[in-house]
Structure 1
Amino acid sequence: MNDLDQDRYRAPALDKGLDILELLAGVDGGLSQAEIAKKLDRSPNEFYRMLDRLVKRGYVARLEGDRYVLTLKLFGLAQLHAPTRRLASLAMPLMRELAEITQQENHIVVYDRGHPVVIAQLEAPNYWGISIRVGSRMGLFDTGSGHVLLAFRSPDVRSMMVAEHVASGGLDGRMTEAFAARLDAIRTRGYEMMPSAQTAGVTNLSAPIVSADGEALAALTVPYITIINMPDAPDIARTIEVLKDTARRISELAGASLGAGSPSADS
């Protein structure tokens, strides 16, 4: 297509919106409306309506001090497609092995536009167990999966995840010093263990599936229940060991199979 054809099919409003997104993607801490206009060599008034629409559609967030930052919505849209499907596919044999060894259900959760979302699930091999539906949306602050997804992210991304979660109607959790210390402890020991906030008698065990740089691609979670009619079933300590090993092996496969376009693009 020559330059004349390109001019014929121009969409100025779309170009302006894409210019803003591309600009914000390359800066830390956000930019004011005046700074955006200066960097794009345009009048600030040209961007008022465009920024307003991008904020209302969730692609950009407005911070205190009239600064605009890119949200994780574009990442969320991208990660629900091929990379996430590949992650679920390559993980399934190892998830099946995990279920057989532990006699427990397990599932994989990724972050998507404000909420952890289940993308793969394998039921317990026997007749009794917890079942989490694929597509279920969870909380960040009251689930083991949410804690792991927050713990294995950079502070800046973590803050944006919390803001998106609250904006999308999630639990209005606070990043208190105590909660931040808990996330640090999760990152140090490599997993989360907490009583379920939704179901009595269940202990959520969750370990990260990480990229090469240690950032969370997903969380692998076992909603552990004590099986009283199977005395040989692994106890919770053994289940944690197998869970962590399985998450590590999936992480290695994900690094080899997904490459630079994987869900690690952070989110």
Structure 2
Amino acid sequence: MRRVRLVARRGKAETAARYTTPALEKGLDILELFASTSDELTKREVARRLGRTVSEIFRMLVCLEQRGYIAQSPEEDRLRLTLKLFKLAQEHPPVKRLTAKALPVMHDVTHKINQSCHLGVLDGGQVIILAQVDAPTSTGFYVKAGSSVDLMEAATGHVILAHQRPEICNRAILEWQRDTNEEVPPDLHKHLIRIRQRGFEERASYQVNGVINISYPIFDDQGFAIAALSVPFLKRIKDPTTAKDVRFHLQRACLEISKEIGGE
């Protein structure tokens, strides 16, 4: 029996050795290193943390940068992880599942509050609108599905940032800075804390006068926001719907969607 086990183990070891892929392993080691830290790293720092020489990883770093997985920071000698992996994850079937589960709930909400609503996710330094449902009225305001909105001008984006992992939040902000070459609003950190404390965002639109953006997060199974459901509330004459009504139905809708996708 002992001889059989030794042979089996030797066979597994030989199989593993036969199918090793050093380049792929180095690439994955690099990606996992950047994913585990919010620090921007030089090539020498990457090599030191991986226990390798710069010459061993140089070509792999160049390849990952060319493919868009890592990028140069404003300080050109340092590298950071981009959100390309996050974008790939958005193309995964769970995103389609999120949209499929959300749309019936969104239709229900719009009929209860006579307002449009939209579902958004982070995409680098922007918010992408995955789905949108019109208000069941002849007039209204809506954000077009498929459109992108500046991260710093979107209640949807702020709600997701406020309920995300710090490293994801920081990366999205860095992406926004790189894309826009603008400074982060000085009160952003305090603003996100306030959103997290009360659980939602409600503020005047950054782009349209008279519209109040109300947004609630949709959570994954670890309690982090993967999306947000938002209503650009426009008060109509003779329509009794209030911002309080919108908050009530929107919160219930987000809890329902979170539950449907297995979130907390």
Q: TM-score, normalised by structure 2?
A: 0.82
| Pair member with larger Rg | 2
Aligned to 1:242: 249
Q: Is the 8 A contact 1:190 1:244 kept in 2?
A: no
2:189 to 159, 180, 184: 180
Aligned to 1:118: 129
1:161 to 149, 172, 176: 172
1:22 to 14, 32, 57: 32
Shift of 1:150: 1.3
Cα deviation per residue 1:117-171 (whole Å; 9 max; x = unaligned)? Answer: 011111111111123222111111111112112111233321111001222x247
Shift of 1:27: 4.6
- Separation in structure 2 between the aligned mates of residue 243 and residue 18 of structure 1, nearest angstrom: 40
The alignment-based identity, stated in percent, is 37
Tell me the SS of whatever aligns to 1:174.
Answer: coil
Aligned to 1:265: none
- Separation in structure 1 between the aligned mates of residue 258 and residue 183 of structure 2, nearest angstrom: 29
Aligned to 1:254: 261
Q: RMSD of the alignment, in Å?
A: 2.7
Shift of 1:14: 5.2
Aligned to 2:84: 73
- Separation in structure 2 between the aligned mates of residue 126 and residue 93 of structure 1, nearest angstrom: 18
- Separation in structure 1 between the aligned mates of residue 17 and residue 256 of structure 2, nearest angstrom: 53
Aligned to 1:51: 61
Matched, 1:219 2:228: yes
User: Cα gap change, 1:4/1:44 in structure 2, threshold over 3 Å: closer, same or farther?
Assistant: closer
Aligned to 2:44: 34
Gaps of 5+ in 2: 1-14
Shift of 1:191: 1.1
- Separation in structure 2 between the aligned mates of residue 37 and residue 100 of structure 1, nearest angstrom: 57
Aligned to 1:205: 214
Q: Is the 8 A contact 2:107 2:133 kept in 1?
A: yes
Aligned to 2:8: none
- Separation in structure 2 between the aligned mates of residue 84 and residue 68 of structure 1, nearest angstrom: 29
- Separation in structure 1 between the aligned mates of residue 183 and residue 137 of structure 2, nearest angstrom: 36
Shift of 1:6: 4.2
User: Cα gap change, 1:27/1:239 in structure 2, threshold over 3 Å: closer, same or farther?
Assistant: closer
Tell me the SS of whatever aligns to 2:150.
Answer: coil
Q: TM-score, normalised by structure 1?
A: 0.81
User: Cα gap change, 1:23/1:183 in structure 2, threshold over 3 Å: closer, same or farther?
Assistant: closer
Cα deviation per residue 1:28-75 (whole Å; 9 max; x = unaligned)? Answer: 535542343245454202333432443454312445695544332201
Q: Is the 8 A contact 2:177 2:184 kept in 1?
A: no
Gaps of 5+ in 1: 260-267
Shift of 1:95: 0.5
Q: Is the 8 A contact 2:37 2:167 kept in 1?
A: no
Tell me the SS of whatever aligns to 2:202.
Answer: strand
- Separation in structure 1 between the aligned mates of residue 181 and residue 144 of structure 2, nearest angstrom: 20
- Separation in structure 2 between the aligned mates of residue 111 and residue 91 of structure 1, nearest angstrom: 17
> Which letter does structure 2 place at the counterpart of 1:127?
S
- Separation in structure 2 between the aligned mates of residue 3 and residue 52 of structure 1, nearest angstrom: 27
